[in-house]
Structure 1
Amino acid sequence: MSNLRPVFYVSDGTGITAETIGHSLLTQFANIRFVTDRIPFVDTLEKAQVAAMEIRRAGEQSGYRPVVVNSCVDPALNAVLAESGALMLDVFAPFIEPLERELGMQRQSQVGRAHGMVDFDSYHRRINAMNYALAHDDGVSMDYSEADVILVGVSRAGKTPTCVYLALHHGVRAANYPLTEEDLDSDRLPAKLRPYRSKLFGLTIDPVRLQQIRQERRPNSRYAQLDTCKHEVVAAEALLRAEGIQMLSTTHASIEEIASRILEVLGLGREMF
């Protein structure tokens, strides 16, 4: 017996949609402990049967009825999965009937459509944006003329993962510039950034959290000392405020939240892929 309730994200594709929605649902039940697993590419009856056995076994071992957050579109696959005895939550079910009624047509249940490469222009935009983010990471390249956004902040404030997320999920060409000790001793933006003021967005972080992150990267170094982190964060925030640059703390924010805020503030109305 386990005190963890099993939750499965099951999909005929990547499972990203089911996991994203499921995670949002589970956060509403903070007093319950869950153990989650993703089962992607369940696109045949045989795979559905294997998944159902795994789900049923998890329920028997835990002593709790499993929860399945499901984004499979084939009713036959869903029927097999339901034989697991789990609580089945179909992420599409509440919306399909109203949409069919409104649009005057039935859905086309095509497996893998949500994350399929159906738009080559969008696909190439994401790839190009990803290449841009890698080439302009941590000030490697200083040519920001083609950037959609330039993230500015102290080292390890979350700039790189945010740039990667913006590229992969929104096709945004995001660069990032780490504020150096020399930059922080000045009362002005670095000269390299001044021509691109309208593209700048600042990321900051609680010094204690920053010290924990840096300690993992460079243990017991001056770089990871709390006094160093405090000095850098205070100086960076003062500089960004003085220059009128919007900023956001990454301390308790998810990558998704950070990216959404950046898109909103800078008016980058990009769809999510």
Structure 2
Amino acid sequence: MQINTESRDVFYVSDGTAITCETLGHVLLGQFSFSANEKTFPFVESLDKVEDLVREIENSFTRTGEKPLVFFSIVLPDIRQVLVKSSAHCYDVLEDLVKKMQNDLQMEPQPKLQRSRSVKRDSDTYFDRIAAIEYTLAHDDGITLKGIEKADIVLLGVSRSGKTPTSLYMAMQFGLRVVNYPFIDDDIKAMRLLPEFEIHRHKLFGLTIDAQRLTEIRENRLSGSDYASDEQCRLELASVEALFRREAIPYINTSSLSVEEISTRILEKAGLKRRLV
């Protein structure tokens, strides 16, 4: 049977949220050229759930003739054993690290469901994260600039340059309060900073994007409109990038970057520290 090297089924499996599996899996998959048909299975914490999952794995193997790739984090041995016996290439995202820490610390691990130090629901960090998300949602897409003095960073850019997903990622992952503001027609014509931005200049950060990519994104939303035209996209980007340069506002091009990469580069360039890890 000929193996298809263009696409593979990929499962992210965890007895928790599966976010760690997704993150590490994406990094590893980025080293290979095939496309991934991805599915995520969080909270696989019982034999019934893992048996349902194994049926999906077997169906994938039968359908494609290829073993799917499974990135997993399962701490309970009986559930883990069922999974690794399935017709899949299984990668435990924590196993090597746990073993190394065990050797380094000379301490036996004590596996427990949902054990993580990343989000402590009984501590101030959890509520800081929720407050950051609420603030960022309230200040999305220029809804309001009231309370801008509480923002950690203000993202500026043309419509559809990646401001909203970046803002939410930074709030959820790093606990940062983010305002994002899209330049509209009136802004493009005047092309000057609002007074609210002048007094918070040190918080400003710009996002830009290649004109062709922006046209594609806008065409998917409003096909055939002036808003999505190549000419309009080029005009807006040229005007906004000129403003960024004139006002010495740091900015990055988001065209080929994931939201994780965009956020990390913003933190690095802006000198911000992650509040939550």
Matches within 5 A, 1:42-57: 42-57=44-59
Q: 2:128 aligns with which of 125, 128, 144?
A: 125
Q: In the alignment, which residue of structure 2 is the partner of 1:206? A: 210
Paired residue type of 2:10 = V
Contact 2:191 2:240 in 1 (8 A): no
Question: C-alpha distance in 1, partners of 2:223/2:59?
Answer: 43
- 1:166, CA displacement in angstroms? 0.9
RMSD: 2.0
Contact 2:176 2:275 in 1 (8 A): no
Consecutive aligned runs of 4 or more in structure 1 exceeding 4 Å deviation: none
- 1:268, CA displacement in angstroms? 1.6
Question: C-alpha distance in 1, partners of 2:267/2:122?
Answer: 22
Paired residue type of 2:239 = A
Question: C-alpha distance in 2, partners of 1:180/1:98?
Answer: 53
1:258 to 1:10, Cα distance in 2 relative to 1, 3 A: same
Question: C-alpha distance in 2, partners of 1:140/1:67?
Answer: 42
Q: In the alignment, which residue of structure 2 is the partner of 1:11? A: 14
Q: Deviations over 1:181-224 (max 9, x none)?
A: 33333464222210011000000111122122222333332222
Worse overlay, 251-260 or 104-113: 104-113
1:228 pairs with 2:245: no
- 1:104, CA displacement in angstroms? 3.0
TM-score (norm 1): 0.92
Matches within 5 A, 1:159-170: 159-170=163-174
Contact 1:184 1:239 in 2 (8 A): no
1:75 pairs with 2:71: no
Worse overlay, 85-94 or 236-245: 85-94
Q: How many residues align?
A: 272
Contact 2:152 2:178 in 1 (8 A): yes
Residue 122 of structure 1 aligns to a residue whose secondary structure is helix
- 1:81, CA displacement in angstroms? 0.8
Q: 2:263 aligns with which of 241, 259, 263?
A: 259
Q: In the alignment, which residue of structure 1 is the partner of 2:93? A: 91
TM-score (norm 2): 0.90
Q: In the alignment, which residue of structure 2 is the partner of 1:238? A: 242
- Which stretches in structure 1 are left out of the alignment for 5+ residues? none
1:250 pairs with 2:254: yes
Paired residue type of 2:200 = Y
Question: C-alpha distance in 2, partners of 1:187/1:35?
Answer: 43
Identical columns (%)? 43
Residue 131 of structure 1 aligns to a residue whose secondary structure is helix
Q: Deviations over 1:78-120 (max 9, x none)?
A: 1111221322211111111211222232222111223765443
